[in-house]
């Protein structure tokens, strides 16, 4: 192990130790969801259980956990977005067309296969669009297409028709490796835990709790430990809970003529404060989700609906299985978030539809937040 890596690992351990000493019995307001429903109150972490107010909930029963505390800001200006949805903040040190080396405060310096990477963010910005595969984006100048050849401390190499072009790293924003790979779908993701930290990192692995600490067995970082004060959210992918974003699905746009112009037919995932995952849907769009096998058990669909920010018109939202409409909701521009729970009958597909209200006005649309299915024995 080199001197820099030893220093980085020691510094990360020192930070964790200090946080443990400062927050030995940290408690934060938040929400825990189980199959039975949501429970809100002060959250504290114990040995393989979570206490919400006066209620003790076994870790095995937790589906979602969200804390109300505000993010502490990103731990680094650069980050790596993984194909599986992880986000690792740290220094992008060096790399080739096959492997990348990243230094993260939680696990030090580690090699990372480029085949697992969706994008390199030299200057992290949540507001930027995803971009095109094998394309480099800069603060100034046109995007540069080409395969990544290497990454050095002060420059990167991009393949071009005239050979490898050396580009200074100063002023670079993002290199998109491949955004065509979908997130892992059910049932492949079954049994995987996900933890989001207040410094922006999102890790996946196997979780356990131990009195104020969250431990994670991670593919890259190995055995990792986080103080409860750093936890923003936890998602536990189990047979009893399936997120809609992890189901096989098809997006169908029905907008034609003037309604099809501009940016009126859009489906995108975006981070919304207070929620883990959000899907923005504008008229006239339908999304067909393939329902998983439930083995004859009861299935519920839970989510929260909000009107598009800066919306001017009414939006009609429907959710159906076959010819049976489970929910129809009109959202006005100033409506508050609307949580819902509907029972899902037997069928092959769950269809979410978004359309204009009686009066067509732009912009309008729906934000569907933390949409998931719950299977009850």
Pair 106, 151 in one domain: yes
pLDDT higher at 259 or 95: 95
Please give the structure tokens belonging to residue 45: 């972490």
- pLDDT tens per residue, range 74-129: 878 899 999 888 999 999 999 999 999 999 999 999 999 999 999 999 998 766 66
Q: Read off φ and ψ for residue 162, nearest 5 degrees.
A: -100, 10
| Structural domain contains residue 231 | yes
| Structural domain contains residue 338 | yes
Residues above pLDDT 70, as percent of the chain: 85
Pair 369, 248 in one domain: yes
The answer to whether 79 touches 121, Cβ cutoff 8 Å, is yes
- Stated as kind and residue range, the H or E segment containing 30 is strand 28-34
Q: What is the pLDDT of residue 25?
A: 44
Residue 131's pLDDT band (cuts 50, 70, 90)? confident
| Structural domain contains residue 342 | yes
Pair 271, 316 in one domain: yes
Pair 51, 194 in one domain: yes
- Domain extent, residue 269, equals 241-376
| Structural domain contains residue 182 | no
| Structural domain contains residue 181 | no
Residue 133 has pLDDT above 50, yes or no: yes
Pair 51, 128 in one domain: no
| Structural domain contains residue 63 | yes
| Structural domain contains residue 17 | yes
Ranges 28-42, 71-85, 138-152, 244-258: which has the least confidence: 244-258
At which of 202, 219, 236 does a domain end?
236
Q: What is the pLDDT of residue 355?
A: 93
The number of domains in the chain is 3
pLDDT higher at 199 or 126: 199
The CATH number of whichever domain residue 261 belongs to comes to 2.60.120.260
Pair 68, 135 in one domain: no
For residue 235, the tally of other CB atoms under 10 A from its CB is 27
Q: How far apart are CA 20 and CA 196, in angstroms?
A: 18
Cis peptide, bond prior to residue 187, ω within 30 of zero = yes
Pair 66, 192 in one domain: yes
Beta bridge partners of 34: 37
- pLDDT tens per residue, range 301-330: 999 999 988 888 899 999 999 999 999 999
| Structural domain contains residue 252 | yes
Residue with tokens 């430990």: 225
């Amino acid at each position: 192990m080199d001197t820099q890596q030893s220093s980085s690992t020691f510094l990360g351990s020192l930070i964790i130790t200090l946080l443990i000493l400062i927050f030995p019995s940290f408690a934060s307001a938040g929400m825990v969801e189980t199959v039975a429903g949501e429970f809100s109150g002060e959250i504290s972490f114990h040995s393989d259980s979570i206490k919400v107010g006066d209620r003790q909930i076994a870790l095995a029963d937790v589906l979602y956990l969200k804390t109300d505390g505000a993010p502490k800001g990103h731990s680094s200006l650069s980050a790596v977005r993984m194909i599986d949805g992880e986000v690792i903040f740290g220094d992008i040190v060096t790399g080739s067309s096959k492997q990348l080396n990243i230094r993260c405060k939680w696990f030090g310096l580690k090699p990372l296969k480029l085949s697992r990477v969706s994008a390199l963010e030299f200057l992290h910005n949540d507001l930027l669009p995803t971009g095109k595969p094998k394309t480099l984006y800069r603060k100034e100048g046109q995007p540069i297409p080409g395969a990544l050849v290497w990454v050095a401390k002060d420059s990167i190499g991009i393949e071009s028709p005239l050979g490898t072009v050396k580009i200074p790293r100063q002023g670079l924003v993002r290199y998109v490796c491949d955004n065509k790979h979908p997130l892992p779908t059910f049932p492949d993701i079954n049994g995987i835990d996900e933890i989001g930290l207040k410094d922006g990192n999102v890790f996946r692995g196997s979780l356990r709790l131990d009195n104020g600490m969250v431990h994670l067995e991670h593919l890259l970082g190995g055995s990792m430990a986080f103080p409860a004060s750093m936890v923003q959210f936890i998602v536990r992918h189990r047979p009893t809970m399936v997120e809609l974003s992890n189901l096989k699905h098809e997006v169908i746009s029905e907008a034609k003529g003037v309604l099809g112009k501009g940016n009126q037919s859009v489906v995108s995932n975006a981070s919304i404060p207070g929620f883990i995952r959000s899907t923005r849907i504008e008229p006239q769009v339908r999304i067909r989700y393939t329902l998983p096998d439930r083995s004859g058990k009861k299935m519920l669909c839970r989510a929260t609906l909000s009107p598009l920010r800066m919306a001017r018109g009414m939006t009609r939202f429907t959710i159906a299985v076959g010819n049976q409409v489970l929910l129809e909701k009109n959202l006005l521009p100033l409506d508050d978030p609307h949580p819902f729970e509907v029972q899902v009958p037997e069928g092959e597909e769950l269809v979410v539809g978004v359309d204009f209200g009686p009066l067509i006005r732009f912009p309008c649309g729906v934000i569907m937040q933390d949409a998931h299915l719950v299977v009850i024995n």
